[in-house]
Structure 1
């Protein structure tokens, strides 16, 4: 009872503080950084009550089974699919190849440091496990700052897309490495085997998501009387998505990957045929649940950090004396190096296939490298650490304390410096409150808007600006509108081509109301499955 009262009071406080941060457009302290700080202060305040702080300590099962799913689902639902697929090459390259490079540089680098006697000696499997979990980026603070300063949509889309898929790759790689014994020597064959297993997990997770969501969307579109019950509409969407998450986990695949694509498929095939009350309810309910879950994650992490300074009898609990500052320093160096070796070469390679107007500029490259924050996924993975070396020695406390330091350092310092950095590099934009009637609003997560030119009639000069990534995306869009939408959303033929644009405009208008912006156009009507307009 006491722990519930504490959590509810903290959530109310976080809501009020978040309101103040949004109203003042503060970029020096993010909502995640504030939640982390409140968690630290709360942990210190309750340190004299062992029973209370035991219930408020970070629990792996609560994180992965309760808190993480709504965060990932909301991220998949909120992503602008057209922008995502137009930048799919850059996103996949940085999220998959980039994560593997970062994990490899960090893990093998720390292994070599230990072999050279400059740091703790750890085995190669142990080092790569740590490299995988610490490579999970979580730029919550960065994306919130991007929203307030209205950075170019290209920068926002790449960072946002990479962050979600990066977590999936890092977790898949971590799961793959857990199967390897310390007695196996590192070799090219073993590394290729790890990569093959990682990609098997990723593709299998996507397959489960597509199968369950498309099957659910097919039935959802044909249960027309369901439109009279918005609560049931929302429940069907939520339950189907979380069924996907736990089904993937049950198959020893990645629930995060499955749930992210479930969010995208929900937004694309199920959301357009929901009733207007159901759409409004679903949009705001999902956003609210994700906010609560994200806040609790950082509060729990802050409580765990504060308990490092409390003397307890539990031998498994970490203490500040468990920190190895040499290992922390080398980890920080390897993370910066690994991030640089994947960000700059890979995105420069992407630029080679883009015309100058749509290339990732050097200031954007620097921001993408700088904003590789570590967050809750890394800390949740390290709490499950069970690896022991050939001598039966576990370095669990070493890994936990290092991860905790990296997460707190990047959330507070890097997150707080993002705003001044964006202004110094002239990447912040002023947003025009009113859009011209012919323009469409591209809404980003957290209410970020950017006015874009209409895509209905693309001129010859605009056509020449298509990137190699955008051409297949355009072909897929035509195939989807022609063959998939009629089956899985039951969209009438005359309305197929423009339904996605109208859906984005409607969601943009809803988000614009949240940030008290006025639009010159009324909310666009959505076509329902029975052909009527709402």
Structure 2
């Protein structure tokens, strides 16, 4: 009874907000993350269960326990905003992927990656949009505009390869890993351009040059995002070499690299570019140039 009463108090405190509610939410969230890390480590060599599935199962179990113990009342002790993911969680993941990617393998398959990430998205959008055009009226939805069908096609064609990459080993299948990851990065840029083009499209006044405009917008977004990321990466490498941060503290070197990478992502979002592309290529450039301008201890830390 005492444990149940304490749990009810914690859930009520978390759901009503305030400082105590925030503390409870963060404690539960941190404990679940620690549990996922430990379970993922213990099951690392298991070929049937990977870290993503483990985290998914743990999340479902914890959510079900919270729901049952609170008897369905005030069970939302932690609300995960999508802005929290895109602003704070996603940039470090993409930067680390760019920093650790096998560059030779990635650029060797660059044309194949572009084929999947660009032409593959166009094909997927056409198929998904046609599928919605055929399916939605049959399940009771009213007839939508052509722009709405195209927008749905773009949304469902925008894929996230994070879970897929958890299953693939970069060391055992480097080519497959680089193809899947590269397609996910290029897919982001293509989907953003297509969605913006469709959102601003007037289907009654569509012109023959609309397709060329979409292609031009994609090339502009891809080029500017890549250049921005590479420029910030090169600038960081120059600052590290010129000022030699490591002579006083290696922590400053690592902190500068991380903060400059985050700055590249936020600048790209501010300029309506692809933050994922920018921070990815920033990571590639930093791993090739900035990494060689830091001290040995910083190299060990960043690897």
- TM-score range relative to shorter protein: 0.7 to 0.9
Change (3 A) 1:146 1:60: closer
Change (3 A) 1:61 1:144: closer
8 Å contact kept, 1:137–1:166: yes
**Cα distance in 2 between the residues matched to 1:125 and 1:174:** 10
Change (3 A) 1:170 1:34: farther
8 Å contact kept, 1:217–1:269: yes
Indicate the structure whose relative CO is greater, using CA pairs within 8 Å and at least 6 residues apart.
1
Structure 2: stretches of 5+ with no match in the other structure = 1-22
Scaled by the length of structure 1, the TM-score of the pair is 0.48
Compute the displacement of 1:186 (Å). Answer: 6.2
Of 127, 133, 136, the match for 1:105: 127
Name 2:164's counterpart in structure 1: 142
Name 2:35's counterpart in structure 1: 13
1:295-348 CA-partner distances (Å, limit 9, x unpaired) = xxxxxxxxxxxxxxxxxxxxxxxxxxxxxxxxxxxxxxxxxxxxxxxxxxxxxx
Q: Where does 1:120-519 land on structure 2 (aligned, <5 Å)?
A: 120=141, 121-147=143-169, 151-180=172-201, 184=204, 189-283=209-303
Q: Where does 1:14-93 land on structure 2 (aligned, <5 Å)?
A: 14-22=36-44, 25-47=45-67, 48=70, 53=76, 56-93=78-115
Change (3 A) 1:50 1:267: farther
* Bigger Cα displacement from structure 2, 193-202 vs 226-235: 193-202
Compute the displacement of 1:96 (Å). Answer: 1.9
1:422-463 CA-partner distances (Å, limit 9, x unpaired) = xxxxxxxxxxxxxxxxxxxxxxxxxxxxxxxxxxxxxxxxxx
**Cα distance in 1 between the residues matched to 2:252 and 2:208:** 52
Name 2:117's counterpart in structure 1: 95
Across the aligned residues of Structure 1 and Structure 2, the Cα RMSD in angstroms comes to 2.6
Compute the displacement of 1:94 (Å). Answer: 1.0
Change (3 A) 1:208 1:275: same
Change (3 A) 1:56 1:76: same
